[in-house]
Amino acid sequence: MSAATNGKLSPVSVAQVVIDDSFWSPRIETNRTQTIPHEYTQCKETGRIDAFDLTWKPGDEPVPHYFWDSDVAKWIEAASYSLAAHPDPDLDQLLDEVIEKIAGAQQPDGYLNVYFTVVEPEKRWKNLGMWHELYCAGHLMEAAVAHYEATGKRRLLDVMCRYADYIASVFGPNPGQRYGAPGHEEIELALVKLYRATGNERYLELSKFFIDQRGQKPSVFQRELEHLSEEDARINRHFFEKNGFDTSYCQDHLPVREQSDPVGHAVRAMYLYCGMADIAVETGDEELLRACRRLWDNVCSKKMYVTGGVGSSRHNEGFTDDYDLPNKDAYAETCAAIGLIFFAQRMLHVDADARYADIMERALYNGALSGISLDGKKFFYDNPLASNGDHHRQDWFGCACCPPNIARLIASLGSYIYSESDTDLYIHLYISGHADLSAGGTPVKISQQTDYPWDGEIEVEVAPSEPAEFGLNLRIPGWCRKAVLMVNGIEIDTAPILRSGYARIYRKWQPGDTVRLHLAMPVERVTTHPRVAENIGRVALSRGPIVFCLETADNPVPLDRVVLPRDAELTAVFDEKLLGGVVKIQGEGLLMDDADWDGQLYRFEPVKMRPYPLTAIPYYAWDHRTPGEMRVWIRSL
């Protein structure tokens, strides 16, 4: 089990969890049989995998890109998690073959990056701000840890330890070393994973060094920019924003312990905050942890979409001003929602507070899951909350970070459901299946049965190997207004046992004890802060963790003219034939009628309304039918 050393809770590995769930099992199977093979084919056909053969020479096409390594690394990570849950000899062999290519590309000194080995070797470590060397190294480290934990094989782990040792010899505070930091954060959290897998303190120290480099004056990125040619410096255009040099794009504007306001590129920010949380846990750095909490609070209270998407601007793929959350122009990159999930899980393990799990769930079921098609072969890079019918998932991207990212998230889903501590077990997500956990040294098998997210009935069977005292904590979601809890058929009051959003049942558990949790799941109208200008006078629909939207396929009218009265009755109906089986919301709305305007542009009478039966579907499932408009936020009166 991979566990944080000093955290209140410890994560649970994929290998400890079996998912057997009507909602998630088909998606995991699609990920295994469709997405992972599809992404391997794309990496192969685009040259990403064979680039590790280092046979490229000037004039050859395609030219390897400096972030290609990371796409292959995330594919390896996804495939490794899949192997841990579902043994597959063919995939196992394919992974070995790809890993051998990577190992063969490692240089005598330990360096490993295709682009800066064969295309522009003279530019190694020249532009950390924008050339992704350390970012790629980080993803390869994560892949190595995942593969080692899934298979027990050390081939890639040893390669990446050698690379990490080399990086630690180049960067650091000692004589002969250089100061520097990754422009695209990722290696910080990866080094902590490598430390936890190997016990090598050097990797933890290197992660801390990179984190502490951010925000120093003069900036490490400004110093390296002085040595770049004019042509090479053009790619650093994001560092010239506010009438001068400004590296807020990569969160370098302040030392990390002084940061409060999420700025810049959203994926970079999320990965940085994950690394900060990891270092805070491992070193006991309370000041760093306070910064993580401030940044979390700001993201979720001022800069997050109702879907759990973050990073509203296409210009910087990231954050802008507070409450700047446009709908049709929303960027909300799939990778950013996934990064928010990563950050949420880390904070959850520090504070054991359900507010983190609430956001983790929101982003999982909405802002991240929308990033992949139901057949597992098409992807959104950005996830707007409104469309005129011209935004569609793609087979692949030139910058292909999102497809393997969502693949590795789905393949590792088991690690997000439960957590352990010395005295307690936690259930964060309600997903059918079972897990082999441990409470106070006693093995405990936890089984869940539920039709969540479509239904709020959850049954949990607790089976310790022998009678044992421990706390079982069940999350009462923030969206739930009424929860009923029963232990062995006897209802218990949740109010006295509610701790930070979890109902804690502490007792001497017997094999076969059963807990039933009923979460009331009506259709809800969601409103937004009045400073979010585009959503004034509008509502979004949600039910349980799912956010819904209108699509032209169900509502063949101009969607901006659909109005939902405050007193309109809304009904949730499960439709097994719709989009693989989903709950849809139906209600009697109104439609702004233009039938009698007779060519007028303005008039003194109010617009007439006529009844209109509206249908809303889960946001994650939009753009699977005839192209047309989509809206999350609906006019209300």
Averaged pLDDT, 187-205? 98
Angle at 41 between CA 39 and CA 42, to 5 degrees: 65
Reduce the secondary structure of 544-576 to three states and give it as a string.
CCEEEEEECCCCCCCHHHEEECCCCCEEEEEEC
Model confidence at 70, pLDDT cuts 50, 70, 90, reads very high
Averaged pLDDT, 130-151? 97
Averaged pLDDT, 500-525? 98
Statement: the pTM of the whole predicted model exceeds 0.95: yes
pLDDT tens per residue across span 569-589: 999 999 999 999 999 999 999
In this prediction, residue 5 carries a pLDDT of 35
In this prediction, residue 6 carries a pLDDT of 42
Domains of the chain by residue range: 10-391+398-416, 420-519, 523-636
Distance CA 126, CA 341 (A): 32
Residues with catalytic roles: 317, 401
Model confidence at 237, pLDDT cuts 50, 70, 90, reads confident
In this prediction, residue 239 carries a pLDDT of 85
**Residue 324: strand, helix, or coil:** coil
Distance CA 48, CA 400 (A): 11
Averaged pLDDT, 223-243? 83
In this prediction, residue 4 carries a pLDDT of 37
In this prediction, residue 7 carries a pLDDT of 47
pLDDT at 488 over 70: yes
Model confidence at 236, pLDDT cuts 50, 70, 90, reads confident
Averaged pLDDT, 66-86? 97
pLDDT at 548 over 80: yes
Q: Classify domain 420-519 at the CATH topology level.
A: Maltose phosphorylase, domain 3 (2.60.420)
Averaged pLDDT, 165-193? 97
List the beta bridge partners of residue 450.
458
Q: Check if the beta carbon of residue 414 is closer than 8 Å to that of residue 21.
A: no
Question: Helices in 86-172 by DSSP H: which ranges?
Answer: 89-105, 133-151, 155-170
User: What architecture does CATH give domain 10-391+398-416?
Assistant: Alpha/alpha barrel (1.50)
Tell me what the pLDDT averaged over the chain comes to.
Answer: 96
pLDDT tens per residue across span 95-120: 999 999 999 999 999 999 999 999 99
High-pLDDT (> 90) share of the chain, %: 94
Which has more confidence, 240 or 288? Answer: 288
Distance CA 76, CA 454 (A): 32
Distance CA 83, CA 146 (A): 10
Burial 77-116 (b: 16+ CB within 10 A, else e): bbbbbbbbbeebeebbebbeebbebbbebbeeebbbbbbb
Model confidence at 227, pLDDT cuts 50, 70, 90, reads confident
Burial 137-164 (b: 16+ CB within 10 A, else e): bbbbbbbbbbbbbbbebebbbebbbbbb
